[in-house]
Amino acid sequence: MKSWLKAALMLCFVMTTLPTITDGQTPAADLVVINANVHTLDAQRPTAAAIAVYGRRIRAVGATEEMRQFIGAGTRVVDAQGALVVPGFNDAHVHFLDGGFHLASVSLRDANSPAEFAERIRQFAAKLPKGRWLTGGDWDHERWPGAPLPTKELIDKFTPDNPVFVNRLDGHEALANSLALKLAGVTRATIDPPGGLIVRDAQGEPTGILKDAAMSFVYAKIPAPSLDELLEAARAATNYAASLGVTSVQDMSAGADVAVYQLLARRGELKTRVYAVRSIVSWEVLKRAGVLRAFGNDLVRIGGLKGFADGSLGSTTALFFEPYNDAPNNRGLLNEEMQPEPVMLERVKGADAVGLQVMIHAIGDAANDKILSIYEQVEREDGPRDRRFRIEHAQHLRPQDIPRFARAHVIASMQPYHAIDDGRWAEKRIGYERAKTTYAFRSLLDSGATLAFGTDWYVAPLNPMFGIYAAATRRTLDGRNPNGWIPEQKITVEEAVRAYTVGSAYAEFTEQEKGTITPGKLADLVILDRDIFKIDPVDIEHARVALTIMDGRVVYEAQNK
């Protein structure tokens, strides 16, 4: 169906579901925002001062005096007092339930040495009952002097009765203690699985570090959470998202957790719209069920499929054409889902043929080339149509591959916070020349590609302000690049916000429903405590959410506005 016809049909539907204003009668709105600095991101009306909401949708946008006509006895009036209002943020790449679990797990992200890492595990393990698994963590060995990987010996003496499996912040390697390795049956005789690596010491013994597919040895032994535990994690995640102005997420590891979101939605507790993405390995399950892309309602939808081409830069498992500078015998790992290589092409073609949306993780330049080639082949052989293929991360690109995104209509689903995090040490891995087209926001936009921004939470913080700050400044977390790391790849604040709203909505086929503050669209709005379009971009990281509206109702209100 042509896009103009879709828009016309949507408008007809919206107008039949909103109250009709007749001569001499103006029905009261449920909620009206007045005295605001509204940035709609809608080209037809870029700015306004007030918004009227009926039920779950925006009815009108305009001046405060115009919107006062919609205020009645039962209307909730939000006086923004001149504050900035933007569309609700749509995080295009999260691991939502995992993030909810991590909110209650040991925090290792900012541990600055192996000793501090071990001490935090000791303190956390001391509170656990015997036999309870200790997971989560999000450690970052690049913060430590010399950047050594942790070993099981660091923590074994503190955790004799608790299996431990704490992941690096990128999720592509994790540390197991000896008890966890024993339960998983990992010994010096265990063979590395395809797409995975068991790190060993000089004597050939496992150090406790497992990379990518090798992590499955331990994951298979961790008990599945109960339904109550899943609901608790989902509540924690949705409440946290609301506090940060995130009103929509695209959950890249939803799997069978869709039921959890449905339960929360039925109970009125879901404060975040969820596009629940499954593994591409299971695409035939959706095919047999007759599911198409973006199936469901505007709260919970399915029909997206995620695959993996490689690992991560931090774990030296991202796949490159040339070896790592600091590991000259290593070019990274081709993920097990790509082995043998034709299998991914077959999955993409099969999923695409039945109307499912495909999104594949690719970090290294060789991995990105392989996935772009697959997408190009599918379009060439099966003909053009509105597929909205995506590459998740699209971090390290060769210059000649950047224009391929626009030509092949491939969405670059990127997480700008990774740039200021990895930028502390990325050149140690790949050198300056390859780094020049790393997180190439500017080059991709200038080539005509669509950017959809997210965070990769729990891998990185969920706060959109950090991502906008990262995209506009590229100031690395270590403070060593005050003018920006690879500054020619900066984009404007407006472009970054658009990627977090309009771009993310387009990336999940919902641009007619959300992404801009437009009459007829869903009432997802965020009020910020400062105007991020006017302040120095270096101060954006300090911006906070004052109020979040999702589905026409206030789901978060700061206590110290």
pLDDT in tens, the chain (561 residues): 444 444 444 444 444 444 444 445 678 999 999 999 999 999 999 999 999 999 999 999 999 999 999 999 999 999 999 999 999 999 999 999 999 998 988 989 899 999 999 999 999 999 999 998 999 999 999 999 999 999 999 999 999 999 999 999 888 999 999 999 999 999 999 999 999 999 999 999 999 999 999 999 999 999 998 899 899 999 999 999 999 999 999 999 998 889 999 999 999 999 999 999 999 999 999 999 999 998 999 999 999 999 999 999 999 999 999 999 999 999 999 999 999 989 999 999 999 999 999 999 999 999 999 999 999 999 999 999 999 999 999 999 999 999 999 999 999 999 999 999 999 999 999 999 999 999 999 999 999 999 999 999 999 999 999 999 999 999 999 999 999 999 999 999 999 999 999 999 999 999 999 999 999 999 999 999 999 999 999 999 999 999 999 999 999 999 874
Give, as one character, the DSSP assignment of residue 190: P
pLDDT, position 399? 98
The first and second tokens of residue 36, run together, are 């605001």
pLDDT, position 436? 97
Reduced to 3 states (helix: H, G, I; strand: E, B; else coil), residue 248 is strand
Strand partners, 390: 359, 411
Give, as one character, the DSSP assignment of residue 23: T
Query: Distance (Å, rounded) from C-alpha 203 to C-alpha 153?
Result: 15
**Looking at 329-443, which runs of residues are DSSP E strands?**
357-362, 390-393, 411-414
pLDDT, position 68? 96
- 227-550, CATH topology level: TIM Barrel (3.20.20)
Query: Distance (Å, rounded) from C-alpha 231 to C-alpha 130?
Result: 24
Please list the residue range(s) of the chain that carry CATH number 3.10.310.70: 110-168+172-219
**Looking at 291-404, which runs of residues are DSSP E strands?**
295-296, 300-308, 357-362, 390-393
Reduced to 3 states (helix: H, G, I; strand: E, B; else coil), residue 393 is strand
Query: Distance (Å, rounded) from C-alpha 134 to C-alpha 237?
Result: 19
- 110-168+172-219, CATH topology level: Diaminopimelate Epimerase; Chain A, domain 1 (3.10.310)
Among 66, 67, 54, CA closest to 16: 54
Reduced to 3 states (helix: H, G, I; strand: E, B; else coil), residue 159 is coil
Query: Distance (Å, rounded) from C-alpha 152 to C-alpha 84?
Result: 49
pLDDT, position 357? 98
pLDDT, position 25? 64
Element (H, E) at 516: none
Q: Within 10 A of 431 (CB to CB), how many other CB atoms are there?
A: 14
Please list the residue range(s) of the chain that carry CATH number 3.20.20.140: 227-550
pLDDT, position 256? 82
Among 53, 49, 48, CA closest to 29: 53
Query: Distance (Å, rounded) from C-alpha 390 to C-alpha 382?
Result: 17
Query: Distance (Å, rounded) from C-alpha 411 to C-alpha 388?
Result: 6
Q: Within 10 A of 310 (CB to CB), how many other CB atoms are there?
A: 30
pTM: 0.87
pLDDT, position 23? 45
β-pairing verdict for 173-176 and 196-200:
unpaired
